[in-house]
A and B are shown apart, each in its own frame.
Chain A
Amino acid sequence: MHRDGRGSILVITDPGHNRQHHRGLFAGQRLAHLSKVLSRSFALAFATPEGLEFSIDDGVRDSEAARSVAPDAGFGGAVDAVFVDGRVLRQVPSLIAVTAPIVVDLYDPLIADDPSQWPGPIDPAARAAERETMIREQLLVGDFFLCANEAQRDYWLGMLTVYGRVNPLVYADDKTLGNLLAVVPWGIERWLSEADSCSLADLPLGIREGDMVVAWALDDLPWLDPVTLVHAVADLVQSTVALKILFLVSPRSDWTRTGIVAAAKNASDLRQLTDRHAFFINCATGDLNRYLRQADLGISLQKDCFAARFAVRPEIEAYVGAGLPVLATPNNAQVISRFPLGWVVSESTVEQVVRSLREFLAAPDLRKALDDKAQKAASELSWEVTSLPLVRWCELPRRAPDRPAGSKHDLPRVTIDPTLPSFWAMPGRALYYLKVGGVAGLAAEMRSYLRGKLPELRR
């Protein structure tokens, strides 16, 4: 408890996660928004080796505790809960010994696969081992987990099952497992007004009054698919000169030579669209909303791949907040279908993108027509709403049922190593059951086994 009577939460951020991995347009924004919401009800203390990239506006940030600290067991004891994201547990192993309940944000299932996290030559086996360790530690130490959509929740429940965190104790606590893992979708910061818009003069030369501008806040991630959009627009502009694509790329990523943005630029050059119908501009995170407010359609296309299936695409929420209709591939398109706010197309289908863009071009007042729906979406998907599961947990933080309070380094009792050797020999099984369920568990299993065997023996 903080000295002012509010609950206290230690937020430990992962500098690698917020600065290196996500060098894109949405770097660190999730943590910033969740922290801002939490700060309205709780005293927050931040721990990060390099300082924060965001500030809490209302001044409730505890300046004394907010200095950069490396948390140790004693520090953890002073707070009611600990909130971590990224690979913090790998970087701050002492956190495992913290006695306060820990909530872990798992919104990025691919953090372990980001090449920028692995400087220098990489031994694949070493990387696999490191990846496995990093994920295992997160999943074993957390008392409550967050993710960003239902597909992620299914994926993480599978992972949590393997590491023994989905077990009868957790099930008895909540049959839906909602007390273990909840969805906190990416939220919408605020509804943008005309005043947030940049002027036409701020747009690249070549975009004129009356053009239909398709904007893509594009992170340089290999599972995104701007090349399909380039080909679709190349097909369309033969008859529609007023269609322009505006690729808004973070200047923090070196996208000019390799990667998916470079591939899109090459395709655009080949189709002779660059600087005529396709514009690639560096866009600082702070300028993104100004450009979006000036656009007519937001777009986000992904490939059909494992990474895309579980990735989060925050640009979609940014488009909705800017009042834009959206064209996107199915993963992460729930908001578009729900309200509805645009088109959902299959992955890598140029013809479907062309068809949708034709419909978009045929409805010049679409943005205005969808205004009410977009405002409703912005209100229902505000960070205040989406972060409710986190806020509720923080109001009553507690250790997970399989991580009883009192001991420090108490990994769950049911922890199954996925590399467990085959042990179907009777003594091995008995020993294993003894370890998992104690004498009572072993005895019950033996009774059950014998009951099953008796009819066979009688025969």
Chain B
Amino acid sequence: MARVLIVSSHMVDVRMAGSGIRCWEIACALSRHADVTLATPRATMLADPQIQLVAYDGRGTVIRECLASADVVLVQGYVLQTFPFLKNVSQPLVVDLYDPFLFENFEAHRFRRAAHRQVIHARDLVVVLEQLRRGDFFVCSNERQRDYWLGMLAAAGRIGHCDGREVGLRDLVDVVPFGLPEISPSHTRQVLKGVVPGIGEGDRVIVWGGGIWAWLDPLVLVRAMTTVAAAYPEARLFFMGKEHPDPSLASSNLSLYSQAVDLARKLGLLGRSVFFNDRWVEYDERQNYLLEADIGVSCHQRSIETRYAQRTRLLDYVWCELPIVTSSGDTWSEFVEAHGLGKVAPVGDADALAAALNSMLDEPDLKAAHRPRFRAIRSLLTWERAIYPLVRFIASDR
């Protein structure tokens, strides 16, 4: 079997966010097709007998050692910048471009001075260009992203004369979406209803999975809850994640989190209809929250980030067969509408969002009604299917 070294840019551990989750799940799925080593920024408590897990330090000594026994290397994020020696490896280099972080950082740094924003963007752009110049194969997480990366790759000189003879350039950049575990989720302990003070066993819970990132819009949801709570006093909104689980990014999202808490307090909803978790939920326990909840929600801003976004939390909702309410504009909102998985509200429209939530809460057996639709698509969205382009590349005669 081919030997694959995956170098994660973010923490992979019992508590982790999108980037770490993606590395972990790709490693697990790929381990059926290759010998996988997953290098992470610090030691992890996760374990899988099929994966060799190693922790690297700032010098990357461990990564250098692992390179000796790797046939293919997969990197993401700032890894090439942090470890420039990876740019010169002889092995084929796969670059995971699932996250167009340039757009996320536009919003995350929006309140900095203009000159500094320019510098941050220029630095980010060079990081991306280095990836595009060096990579042998690229993966991203949806077709919109792919079109965007094809434009960047063309401008970076990676695409030659196109005359219709080539087959789609899928051997240069292809889509590896986020996937679902193949096993069904199981509820192992009660965590929300009757456990979180203020959320009773008979309440109906709207859950916001994952973190409150700068480009999302928890505020519109909190505003919508004034209408929802008036119509359904038993409705409870629960934000699952607080600060980013990676200590180096822990403070990056607290501004919007604080704004959401303040708004809920100002509207008299905090602790009555709106609740904020005080920690990040462990990856292997997320299903306990989602299986107890009645609706999964995701709201974002009207921005270029939304166009290319791939929101991990929505996959978790699908996995747990949790009816969805989401903002319009991203690929997932189209998917939700196309497959009848829930409701889509216009971005930033609190009234429409409240109406969508109310109409869902109005359904007497909401989850049972949606279950067949989730069952119809779940098997199509597994990680095993998602990683096919990687399996094809690794097996190819490069």
Contacts and interface: CB of A to CB of B under 8 A. Distances in A.
Contacts of B130: 422
B147 A424 contact: no
Contact of B304 (A127, A176, A422): A176
Most buried by A among B107, B128, B155, B164: B164
Contact of A175 (B102, B155, B165, B301): B301
B170 to A, nearest CB: 9
B53 to A, nearest CB: 24
B155 to A, nearest CB: 4
Contact of A168 (B121, B160, B303): B121
B123 A433 contact: yes
Interface string B99-138: 0001000110110111111111111011011100100000
Given A127-B161, A166-B102, A436-B119, A154 B151 contact: yes
Nearest to B303: A175
A127 B148 CA distance: 24
B166 interface: yes
A445 B123 CA distance: 10
Interface stretch (A50-58, A265-273, A363-371, A412-420): A412-420
B81 interface: yes
A158 B152 contact: yes
Nearest to A448: B116
Interface residues of A, number: 64
B54 interface: no
A150 B330 CA distance: 13
Contact of B126 (A154, A310, A420): A420
A128 B160 contact: yes
B147 A445 contact: no
Nearest to B155: A162
B168 interface: yes
A369 B155 CA distance: 46
A163 interface: yes
Contacts of B125: 161-162, 164, 416
B143 to A, nearest CB: 8
Most buried by A among B117, B133, B161: B161
Most buried by B among A135, A221, A224, A306: A306
B302 interface: yes
A422 B133 CA distance: 11
Contacts of B304: 157, 166, 171, 175-177
Nearest to B118: A437
Contacts of A154: 144-145, 147-148, 151, 307-308
Contacts of B145: 154
Interface in B17-37: none
A457 interface: no
B164 A305 contact: yes
Nearest to B81: A424
Most buried by B among A113, A132, A160: A113
B380 interface: no
B155 A158 contact: yes
Contacts, number: 176
A313 interface: no
B368 interface: no
Contacts of A454: none
Contacts of A448: 116
A175 B107 contact: yes
Interface in B295-312: 301-304, 307-308
B151 A414 contact: no
A135 B169 CA distance: 20
Interface string B29-58: 000000000000000000000000000001
Contact of B122 (A132, A159, A305, A432): A432
B377 interface: no
A440 B113 contact: yes
Interface string B141-174: 0001101111111111101111111111100000
B167 A304 contact: yes
Given A158-B155, A166-B102, A306-B169, A441 B119 contact: yes
B148 A155 contact: yes
Most buried by A among B110, B112, B129: B129
Contact of A307 (B155, B164, B301, B303): B164
A177 B305 CA distance: 10
Contact of B162 (A175, A306, A414, A440): A306
A444 B115 contact: yes
Contacts of A97: none
B84 interface: yes
Interface in A108-150: 110, 113, 115, 124, 127-128, 132, 135, 150
Interface in B63-116: 81, 84, 87, 102, 106-107, 109-110, 112-116
Interface string A340-365: 00000000000000000000000000
Contact of B119 (A156, A169, A223, A437): A437
Given A158-B152, A437-B118, A418 B157 contact: yes
Contact of B150 (A150, A158, A419, A441): A158
Contact of B164 (A150, A172, A308): A308
A285 interface: no
Contacts of B167: 304-305
A113 B301 CA distance: 37
A206 interface: no
Interface in A413-459: 413-414, 416, 418-420, 422, 424, 429, 432-433, 436-438, 440-442, 444-445, 448, 456
Given A176-B307, A309-B147, A437-B116, 13 more contacts: A154-B147, A157-B304, A158-B148, A158-B149, A158-B150, A175-B303, A176-B303, A305-B162, A418-B155, A432-B122, A436-B118, A437-B119, A444-B116
Interface of B: 58, 81, 84, 87, 102, 106-107, 109-110, 112-123, 125-126, 128-130, 133, 144-145, 147-157, 159-169, 301-304, 307-308
